C-alpha cells in the first residue's frame, strides 16, 4: 500500500502458483488463436484482446478474487464508494512487431474530477514472462493523483519485468502503456481492474455475465460483477437489488425497497417525522 499510494504502482510477487497460470493460459489458448487482431492505433493492430474471462475459464476467478488484491483494492477505493465492482477481466496478447502503446491513464474513461479521486485499480497478471524485449508494461512512477493534472510527462518510466504468478498493480491515475514487442514471441497477460461501485464499468458486466451465467457464481462473485446495488439505489432492478434475478424463480411483481446511506436514511426519516407533527 505504501508504494502503491506513493509511486502509483507496485508489484506483488508470486501471488498465484505459476502452474495455475499455465492452466489458465491453456484454457484460453483457442480463444487467443481465434480472436482477430484489434483495429485502431490505441488497441494496436498487432494486439489481440477479449473479455468475459469468468465464463471462459474456471481459473479466472482465482485472479479476480485474489484475497490480497481485493483487500488492497478496497483499501484504495473505499474512501469514494460503498462497494467496488469488477471493471473488466480481459486477456491481452501483444505480438511481435507491436509498437509502444500510447501512454495513458485509464481514469480518463470517465469525465469526473481528476486529481482528487481514484476511480480504479488495475492489476496486470503476466501469462508469459514480461521482459524489456517483448513489450512489458511501462509505468511512469509518481505520475498519479494530482500529478495527473500536469500536461507534460515528467520522470523516467519503468519497464516492469516480472513472471507469471506476479501481479502488477497500478492506479487508474497512473500513466502507463504497453512496451514495444521486439522479440519473436507473443507477450500474453490478463488485465483485471476494479472501479468505484457507482461508475459505469469499462466492460458491461451484465452482458458479459447475464443472469443465467451469474446464477452459477457464488454471491460474493455475483456481487462483484454487478449484481448488487450501490447506495443510494444505484443499479437496481425494479427498485431492489439485482441479485433478485439470480433466484430460481424471479417474482413477477416486486415492491421497491429503499437502499440509502445512513445519513440519507436519517434525513428521510426526520422529514417523515416532521410531516407527522
Band of residue 249 on the pLDDT scale cut at 50, 70, 90? very high
Sorted by sequence, the CB contacts under 8 Å of residue 131 that are 6+ apart come out as 161, 183
Cβ atoms of residues 249 and 266 within 8 Å? no
The mean-pLDDT minimum among 68-77, 95-104, 145-154, 182-191 falls in 145-154
DSSP-derived 3-state class of residue 164: strand
Q: How confident is the model at residue 155 (pLDDT cuts 50, 70, 90)?
A: confident
pTM value is 0.94
Percent of the chain with pLDDT over 70: 100
Cβ(10)–Cβ(3) below 8 Å: yes
The 10s digit of each residue's pLDDT in 83-119 is 999 999 999 999 999 999 999 999 999 999 999 999 9
* Separation CA 24–CA 153 (nearest Å): 36
DSSP-assigned letters across all residues of 77-113: HGGG-S-EEEEEEEEEEE-TTPPPPPPB-GGGGS-S-
Interval 1-16: pLDDT, tens: 999 999 999 999 999 9
Write out the three cell numbers for 106: 485509464
**Per the structure block, which three cell numbers stand in for 210?**
447475464
**Is the Cα dihedral 139, 142, 143, 145 positive or negative?**
positive
**Mean pLDDT of the region 152-177:** 95
The whole-angstrom separation of Cα 112 and Cα 129 is 35
> What would the pLDDT profile of 42-62 be if each residue is shown by its tens digit?
999 999 999 999 999 999 999
Q: How far is CA 123 from the centre of its chain?
A: 7
Q: Is the pLDDT of residue 277 over 80?
A: no
Give the Cα separation of 136 and 94 in Å (integer).
9
Quote the mean pLDDT of the chain. Answer: 96
Question: Mind listing the pLDDT tens digit for each residue in 214-232?
Answer: 999 999 999 999 999 999 9
pLDDT at residue 201, rounded to an integer: 97
Instruction: Output the furthest CA–CA distance in the chain (Å, rounded).
Output: 78
DSSP state of 68: H
Is residue 215 classed exposed, middle or buried when 0-12, 13-18 and 19+ CB atoms within 10 A define those classes?
A: middle
Cβ–Cβ < 8 Å for 163, 126: yes
- Do the beta carbons of residue 27 and residue 50 sit within 8 Å? no
Distance CA 89, CA 87 (A): 7
The pLDDT value given to residue 154: 77
pLDDT at residue 37 greater than cutoff 90: yes
Say if residues 220 and 65 touch (Cβ distance below 8 Å): yes
For residue 122, give the H/E element and its range. Answer: strand 120-126
Residue 151: which pLDDT band, with cuts at 50, 70 and 90? confident
Amino acid at each position: 500500500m505504501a508504494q502503491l499510494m506513493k509511486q502509483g504502482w507496485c508489484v506483488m510477487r508470486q501471488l498465484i502458483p505459476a502452474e495455475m497460470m499455465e492452466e489458465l493460459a491453456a484454457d484460453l489458448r483457442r480463444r487467443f488463436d481465434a480472436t482477430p487482431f484489434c483495429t485502431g492505433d490505441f488497441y494496436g493492430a498487432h494486439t489481440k484482446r477479449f473479455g468475459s474471462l469468468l465464463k471462459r475459464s474456471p481459473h479466472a476467478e482465482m485472479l479476480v478474487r485474489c484475497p490480497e488484491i481485493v483487500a488492497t483494492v478496497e483499501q484504495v477505493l473505499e474512501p469514494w464508494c460503498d462497494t467496488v465492482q469488477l471493471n473488466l477481466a480481459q486477456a491481452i496478447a501483444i505480438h511481435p512487431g507491436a509498437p509502444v502503446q500510447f501512454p495513458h491513464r485509464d481514469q480518463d474513461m470517465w469525465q469526473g474530477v481528476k486529481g482528487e479521486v481514484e476511480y480504479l485499480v488495475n492489476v496486470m497478471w503476466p501469462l508469459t514472462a514480461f521482459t524489456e524485449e517483448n513489450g512489458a508494461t511501462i509505468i511512469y512512477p509518481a505520475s498519479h493523483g494530482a500529478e495527473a493534472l500536469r500536461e507534460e510527462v515528467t520522470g523516467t518510466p519503468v519497464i516492469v519485468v516480472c513472471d507469471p504468478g506476479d501481479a502488477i498493480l497500478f492506479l487508474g491515475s497512473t500513466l502507463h502503456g504497453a512496451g514495444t514487442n521486439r522479440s519473436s514471441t507473443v507477450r500474453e497477460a490478463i488485465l483485471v481492474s476494479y472501479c468505484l461501485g457507482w461508475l459505469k464499468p469499462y466492460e458491461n458486466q451484465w452482458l458479459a455475465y447475464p443472469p443465467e451465467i451469474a446464477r452459477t457464481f457464488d454471491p460474493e462473485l455475483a456481487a462483484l460483477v454487478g449484481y448488487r446495488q450501490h447506495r443510494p439505489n444505484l443499479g437496481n432492478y425494479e427498485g431492489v437489488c439485482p441479485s433478485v434475478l439470480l433466484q430460481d424463480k424471479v417474482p413477477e411483481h416486486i415492491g421497491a425497497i429503499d437502499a440509502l446511506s445512513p445519513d440519507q436514511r436519517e434525513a428521510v426519516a426526520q422529514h417523515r417525522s416532521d410531516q407527522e407533527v
